[in-house]
Structure 1
Amino acid sequence: MAKQALEYRLRMNRRRFLSRLSLGIGSAALGSLLIPDLFSGKSNEEAILEQLPHFAPKAKRIIYLFQNGAPSQLELFDYKPMLREKFGQDLPESIRMGQRLTGMTAEQTKFPLAGSLFNFAQYGESKAWISELLPYTAGIADELCIIKSMYTEAINHDPALTFFQTGAQVGNRPSMGSWLSYGLGSENKNLPAFCVLLSKGKGNGQGVYSKLWTNGFLDSVHQGVQFSSGENPVLYLNDHASVTRADRRHMLDQLEALNEEGLREFGDPEINAKIQQYEMAYRMQTAVPEVTDISKEPESVIKLYGPECLVPGTYAANCLLARKLSENGVRFVQLYHQGWDGHGNLPAEIKGQCADTDQPSAALIKDLKQRGMLDETLVIWGGEFGRTNYCQGPLTKDNYGRDHHPRCFTIWMAGGGIKPGVYGETDDFGYNITSNPVHVHDFHATVLHLMGMDHEQLTFKHLGRRYRLTDVAGKIVNDIIKA
């Protein structure tokens, strides 16, 4: 009786033990078939990464044309004739609803409405309203998904810009390109998965800084590689004239042996990252000069992008270089174009910005399409937030400025599985969203989805917590994705 009672309490006997053991072996066998590296000693992150993409991607690569400083949607895409009718009248409190203001307009007692000085017309099958400032963009209207209902949480440039690039308003989080590099890697072993290009326009500029393309807590191999406009596109890449290719190879082999010894002794994964970086730099020594050489581009391509594409460091040159990098297997190309911070003299400044960016942006879409690349390349255009419908400072008939406006603004996307059309709307004042709001986390979730990744599964454990680009939020905007 005592033995039976003990077995009853333990719920275990010889038959049950052998039965459960067989089930365990069967489960282990099934697990090893479903996840071949289940017992390889690899981390959860490594096992997850080897299953990527999570599903069939609609895009293979991304070119992000970031308009740093926040373009005014009211001058470009969000046509609001009522603002002209009510020009100079005070914004009703019922519309503003006590929204937080920046320090630049917090002392204003009046918020005079400022209608755009520029004319709009409708283009494409979607009848999208596009400003006269963007004639080239208007010509590709049928390729664009214009999202007029973006919104964000930050009201100042630094946190808003960082939020768009990293999914957080604070620093030291991996950037969007670093997450894609971590998840998918590069299609070309001779070039980085993530490249960064900078240009500056004629308008009021906001700074850009390396934390925007940082790897954060991911391995440093996932950091964005900045290309400069100087004689050497990637700094410190070239050897001294006295060093031959064979010398460099011998030096790297010896350095790798030393690093491997250090890796065995200390187990620091950053040592392995350094080994990979040295090898990548060696391969880039031949790949970068070739990919940055535009001398072989036909005259038709130069004409398409405009004459400034021959001037290194311009927005036009960077758009052309972005196509070449993407064509050569770079997974994520990030452009930053400064000069959109229109607090004053906005009409004149935005004319210059559009003159710099309109033709090259449209040319990039056309160039990708004629090469058969657009369907697999997601192109994104937009800034960190929008601009107010009221004037900051003095208002005249032909001059005004606009403050920061996080509640609603416009971006556009093209190619890469995106459905052309207009998505979302704002009220007649251009102040609040009236349909289909899209948060920054929703934007990130959708972009990752187009690249074949589940934003909730692409994670990295750091300091005891699993992080992801979309933090703890984000929903896919299925309405803008092609079936």
Structure 2
Amino acid sequence: MGRFLPDRRQLLKSASAGFGYLAMSALLANQVRSEQVTPSSPPGHLAPRKPHFSAKAKRVIFLFMQGAISQMDTWEYKPELQARDGQSGPGGGKLMASRYKFAQHGETGTWVSELHPHLAKHVDKFCWLRGLHTDTPAHPQAVIQLHTGAAIASLTRPSMGSWLLYGLGTENQDLPGYITINPPPNFGGSVNYGSAFLPAHYQGTRINDAGYLPNLEAQTPITLQRRQLDLIQSMNKDLASRPHAPSAIDGVISSYELAFRMQSKVPELLDISKEPEHVQKAYGIKDGPAGSFARQCLMARRLSEAGVRFVEICHPGWDQHNNLHRGLTNNCQAVDQPAAALLADLESRGLLEDTLVLFGSEFGRLPSAQGPDGRDHNITGYPMWLAGAGVKPGFTLGATDDVGQFAVEGKMHTNDLHATLLALMGLDHESLTYEYGGREFRLTDVAGQVAREIFA
């Protein structure tokens, strides 16, 4: 038997990149699957794809208020709750009236508390979902379910942003199609923007509220970096061409190329200091933690305008079991002006016509008191609002009872919310599936009803 003499490429693979190949093989061994792509889709995993049916919404901005807003102190005016302050509530405990003044706003006469003077000016744009309910009154499970549809948090599922990217691709090939700004590190962490068993190029890209993305600036000259990447990619493509090669290797190739292109695009896009002074003033831009959400809102507009399919921004700290009134006042001051400015900015640029904005928490809070100054979790009835593309402005679906504890009309489970959001983007939640582990998965699992009543 003759002695085997490796050629130059084989020697490079086994010596300089051998360990990487071994690691990649281990990582991809469990990811062999067939990715379903719409037949009419153009080549490329992240290329724009045709929706299942025509839709006005092309992109989503999700304003996530992590911790659960007290709805009866912000969006849900309940005269009965005010009248029964201190009496026994339907689920036990003593009812606690809101200390905040409510007033009617807009042509719709929508009741809004004094905590949201800026957003109150936009109520005629809002499409209310007031009969929401979910399964688990614990933050980790509820946050994960809101983001992935999984009622059992240990069963990791792709996030809704990943499903949207999988179904529709992205409008800008030089940017990630899914970006999450300031996501909470706990309550599931990266699970909430991960792609799970979907290929890795559908996962969210995390940045902080200052627009920082790790390892974005090249440490080597761009020409040398391109040569290094070409070498790595030639190996990746060689692996991809082999029989029975893991399909996920194509995602690795795409991700590397996207990261290379992002170096020249993302830093300028996230630099909000280039915005005119009047725009920064409208959002309330300031340094430090107090300006976090304002910066996120402005970045969200810039990213959406540039073609990012799904942007999520987050304001944490709404879990007021105690210190309710100080905490709620501070939180609302932080989000009210920037969120209102985002809506106005999108509208003035013509972007609200094809951008869907969602505002809400993982669940709500009870009408009864918890201690001297707090409210506990409520999963049986709470609101969210939508604005923009595809929804009826000034419309309300659903309602809670007289004190705001239970959904009694237009009940809408988290699965129904997901089915409706996908439909507003032109996707049939029952058809948007992915085969993994011998079965087909979808964001809504085996449930979900589309609330077509809210469609414009």
Cα offset, 1:46, TM superposition: 2.1
After superposition, the C-alpha distances for 1:300-347 in whole angstroms (9 at most, x for unaligned) are 211210133797970110000000000001000011211100101101
User: Residue 239 of structure 1 corresponds to which residue in structure 2?
Assistant: 218
Secondary structure of the corresponding residue to residue 87 of structure 1: coil
Counterpart-to-counterpart distance in 1, 2:376 and 2:135: 15
Of the structure 1 ranges 297-306 and 44-53, higher mean CA displacement relative to structure 2 is found in 44-53
User: Residue 390 of structure 1 corresponds to which residue in structure 2?
Assistant: 368
Counterpart-to-counterpart distance in 2, 1:174 and 1:301: 35
Q: How does 1:274-423 map to 2 (within 5 A)?
A: 274-308=252-286, 314-393=292-371, 395=372, 400-421=373-394, 422-423=396-397
Cα offset, 1:84, TM superposition: 2.4
User: Residue 117 of structure 1 corresponds to which residue in structure 2?
Assistant: 99
Secondary structure of the corresponding residue to residue 122 of structure 1: strand
Of the structure 1 ranges 141-150 and 374-383, higher mean CA displacement relative to structure 2 is found in 141-150
After superposition, the C-alpha distances for 1:438-482 in whole angstroms (9 at most, x for unaligned) are 111111111111111111100001111111111111111111110
Q: Contact conserved, 1:312 with 1:318, CA < 8 A, in 2?
A: no
After superposition, the C-alpha distances for 1:342-362 in whole angstroms (9 at most, x for unaligned) are 101101100000000001111
TM-score, length basis structure 1? 0.82
The aligned length equals: 413
Counterpart-to-counterpart distance in 2, 1:434 and 1:209: 33
Counterpart-to-counterpart distance in 2, 1:48 and 1:463: 23
User: Residue 10 of structure 1 corresponds to which residue in structure 2?
Assistant: none
C-alpha spacing 1:272/1:306, structure 2 compared with 1 (3 Å): same
C-alpha spacing 1:259/1:43, structure 2 compared with 1 (3 Å): closer
Q: CA RMSD in A?
A: 2.0
In structure 1, which of residues 402, 406, 431 is the aligned counterpart of residue 405 of structure 2?
A: 431
Q: Contact conserved, 1:206 with 1:339, CA < 8 A, in 2?
A: no
| Percent identical | 42
Counterpart-to-counterpart distance in 2, 1:176 and 1:468: 10
User: Residue 140 of structure 1 corresponds to which residue in structure 2?
Assistant: 122
Secondary structure of the corresponding residue to residue 46 of structure 1: coil
Secondary structure of the corresponding residue to residue 255 of structure 1: helix
**Structure 2 residue 170 is the aligned partner of structure 1 residue 186:** yes
Counterpart-to-counterpart distance in 1, 2:345 and 2:289: 19
C-alpha spacing 1:309/1:191, structure 2 compared with 1 (3 Å): farther
Q: Contact conserved, 2:130 with 2:400, CA < 8 A, in 1?
A: yes
User: Residue 100 of structure 1 corresponds to which residue in structure 2?
Assistant: none
C-alpha spacing 1:256/1:45, structure 2 compared with 1 (3 Å): same
Counterpart-to-counterpart distance in 1, 2:170 and 2:38: 18
Secondary structure of the corresponding residue to residue 37 of structure 2: helix
Q: Which amino acid aligns with 1:218?
A: L
C-alpha spacing 1:467/1:207, structure 2 compared with 1 (3 Å): closer
Counterpart-to-counterpart distance in 2, 1:416 and 1:282: 33
Secondary structure of the corresponding residue to residue 373 of structure 1: coil
**Structure 2 residue 236 is the aligned partner of structure 1 residue 259:** yes
User: Residue 176 of structure 1 corresponds to which residue in structure 2?
Assistant: 160
Q: Contact conserved, 1:443 with 1:476, CA < 8 A, in 2?
A: yes
Counterpart-to-counterpart distance in 2, 1:49 and 1:223: 23
After superposition, the C-alpha distances for 1:41-62 in whole angstroms (9 at most, x for unaligned) are x967124573731111110000
In structure 2, which of residues 109, 132, 142 is the aligned counterpart of residue 150 of structure 1?
A: 132
**Structure 2 residue 155 is the aligned partner of structure 1 residue 164:** no
**Structure 2 residue 192 is the aligned partner of structure 1 residue 212:** yes
Cα offset, 1:296, TM superposition: 2.4
Counterpart-to-counterpart distance in 2, 1:78 and 1:252: 55
Q: Contact conserved, 2:209 with 2:295, CA < 8 A, in 1?
A: no
In structure 2, which of residues 172, 178, 181 is the aligned counterpart of residue 197 of structure 1?
A: 181
Q: Contact conserved, 2:144 with 2:187, CA < 8 A, in 1?
A: no
Q: Contact conserved, 1:152 with 1:407, CA < 8 A, in 2?
A: yes
Unaligned runs of 5+ in 2: 1-32, 42-48
TM-score, length basis structure 2? 0.87
Counterpart-to-counterpart distance in 1, 2:156 and 2:135: 19
Q: Contact conserved, 2:150 with 2:156, CA < 8 A, in 1?
A: no
Unaligned runs of 5+ in 1: 1-41, 97-109
Q: Which amino acid aligns with 1:438?
A: M
C-alpha spacing 1:174/1:354, structure 2 compared with 1 (3 Å): same
Counterpart-to-counterpart distance in 2, 1:52 and 1:227: 28
User: Residue 20 of structure 1 corresponds to which residue in structure 2?
Assistant: none
C-alpha spacing 1:309/1:331, structure 2 compared with 1 (3 Å): farther
Secondary structure of the corresponding residue to residue 77 of structure 1: coil
Counterpart-to-counterpart distance in 1, 2:186 and 2:68: 9
Cα offset, 1:434, TM superposition: 2.2
Q: Contact conserved, 1:378 with 1:414, CA < 8 A, in 2?
A: yes
User: Residue 30 of structure 2 corresponds to which residue in structure 1?
Assistant: none
Which structure has the larger Rg over C-alpha atoms? Answer: 1
